[in-house]
Copies of this chain bind each other. A is one copy, B any other.
């Protein structure tokens, strides 16, 4: 993570955002914000996680694109109805209480696509 932080924060100047350990995925994550978008660094905790295997096979680089949606269940239902292959038919909760789901790269032209739905804010 240090090498990544050095480039994206120290050199590129992107401000640090959220950073936490995602035990379920076996990774540390750290966000660096750029306007409405963020660069997310992902670093595996061991050699067994999916990310560790991806790294061993492909080397470091871009891993996925994530889009925020208002209603992740309706998004997944709509994509499924259109024949898109989903990795997660149902959203799962990450450590931060955010519902996330992945679309299979076979349906996107080789891009691993993630959706997340932020918890409803109290007004």
Contacts and interface: CB of A to CB of B under 8 A. Distances in A.
Contacts of A36: 35-37
Q: How large is the interface on A (under 10, 10 to 19, 20 to 34, 35 or more residues)?
A: 20 to 34
A62 interface: yes
A111 interface: yes
A108 B7 contact: yes
A119 interface: no
Instruction: State the number of copies, please.
Output: 2
A77 interface: no
A4 B108 CA distance: 7
Interface in A88-123: 105, 107-111
B108 A59 contact: no
B110 A59 contact: yes
Interface of A: 3-4, 7, 11-12, 34-37, 39, 59-62, 65, 67, 79, 82, 84, 105, 107-111
